[in-house]
Amino acid sequence: MSTPTIQVGLLGIGTVGSGTWQVLQRNQEEIRRRAGRGIAITMVADLDVARARSIVGDQAQVVSDARDIIRNPAIDIVVELIGGYGIARTLVMEAIAAGKHVVTANKALLAVHGTEIFAAAREKGVVVAFEAAVAGGIPIIKALREGLTANRIEWIAGIINGTTNFILSEMRSKGLDFAEVLKEAQRLGYAEADPTFDIEGIDAAHKATLMSAIGFGIPVQFDKAYVEGITRLSAVDIRYAEQLGYRIKLLGITKRRDSGIELRVHPTLVPTKRLIANVEGAMNAVVVQGDAVGTTLYYGKGAGSEPTASAVVADLVDITRLHTASPLHRVPYLAFQPGEMKDTPILPIDEVVTAFYLRLRVSDEPGVLSRVTTILADQGISIDALLQRESADGEHQTDVIILTHDTVEGRMRVALAQMQALGTVLAPIVSLRKEELA
């Protein structure tokens, strides 16, 4: 007797939804052989019913009300691809209450409301799977949650937003400033008409929050993340970084420290010799440092219809395999058993330990450099490298570039305020963080 097909309801058939439909249709036989039974999308909910019908034809029932899917007792798994915090949260909670397993690509929802959603799912004995929420088609959630489960994770650093990586790659290769490249990214479809979530680092922070929770066994705490985007980056700093052997990337970083967990997103200088520094265009990459395995790198497409659909369908297969398993025998949502989660504090940015790149526009006169280095020394900050641009004939000011060794961020902030107050410092000091990722 053949095992009945798992029935899936799809909420939203936009870019990722249509990709999920196509991948499931195209690879259904391969997927059935892996899952042990068929998986079929039998209902689709979308406000644009006509467009949805043009994609699925008569192979699935199309409705305009998502609750028709949630109420249907034949539906085993609900896939939420609507996005955002609003109606998506309501529908996910209703699907869980109705005893449905949930697959979602919604990093914003889980980063902000994950604790509540996972608790509700645990109570109902259903799975919430979210591989597609971080780094698109790269199976980083599964790697952290299962593949690296023998390890004490030390740190995770990732290029986890393709839009910003495309912009930074173009700024570097073409020597253009941010505003020009953003316009080009919007024209090519890499950036949204309103790119705020991407360029201000919020999207990357949602993803870093989820990876941090899985890596360290802590609750999701997006509100504690330090977030800084790329809007103030200038082409001149990208050029100086390159001269010193570094590339600038927007990284999501989370690190284990004795006093707590660092969780931050910001532009970061990375040595050019590191593989992650050479990830260009809209690609994503995540580096994970484990005590047993050492350094591992995960690279691939972080967005797009079928790459993200690849992760959605993988979650559907996982749930199908576990469909009849006791909830006690399933992999925990955030890798650690619910009763073993720790409320380790997320450190404020002033307590983070990192190195710095500084660019100072100064008067070209004797004694300037010694005053600057004295201020740094007084704060216990040591210099790793220094570059002084030759001033042009008749020019009485120059750029001084300083790379520091690791220091506590709070000390650097004090030093920056003191250097900025010097009469010989002629413009706002540019400071960027630097990570060796060794």
Does residue 273 carry a catalytic annotation? Answer: no
Cα–Cα distance, 436 to 236 (Å, whole number): 21
Bridge-partner residues for 235, per DSSP?
Answer: none
Cα–Cα distance, 255 to 349 (Å, whole number): 12
Environment class of 154 (CB within 10 Å of its CB; exposed 0-12, middle 13-18, buried 19+): middle
- 234-264: b or e for each residue (b if 16 or more CB lie within 10 Å)? ebebbebbeebebbbbbbbbbbbeeebbbbb
Cα–Cα distance, 247 to 273 (Å, whole number): 9
- The catalytic residue among 207, 249, 301, 434 is 207
Cα–Cα distance, 35 to 322 (Å, whole number): 9
Angle between helices 305-322 and 28-35 (to 10 degrees): 30
**For the chain, how big is the Rg over CA atoms in Å?**
24
Fill in the DSSP letter of residue 344. Answer: P
Residue 109: CA count within 13 A, CB half-sphere: 26
Indicate the pairing of strand 6-11 with strand 77-80. parallel
DSSP string computed for 214-230: HHHT----GGG-EE--S
Q: Indicate if the alpha-carbon torsion angle 29, 30, 35, 36 is positive or negative.
A: positive
Question: How many whole angstroms from its chain centre is CA 337?
Answer: 24
- Tell me if 221 sits within 8 A of 209, measured CB to CB: yes
**Which amino acid type is present at position 273?**
K
Tokens of 201: 């680092």
How many CB atoms lie under 10 A from the CB of residue 292? 8
Which of 417, 251, 217 has the alpha carbon at shortest distance from 336?
Answer: 217
- Which distant-in-sequence residues (6+ apart) come within 8 Å of 130 by Cβ? 103, 104, 105, 106, 107, 110, 141, 210, 315
Q: Which residues are catalytic?
A: 207
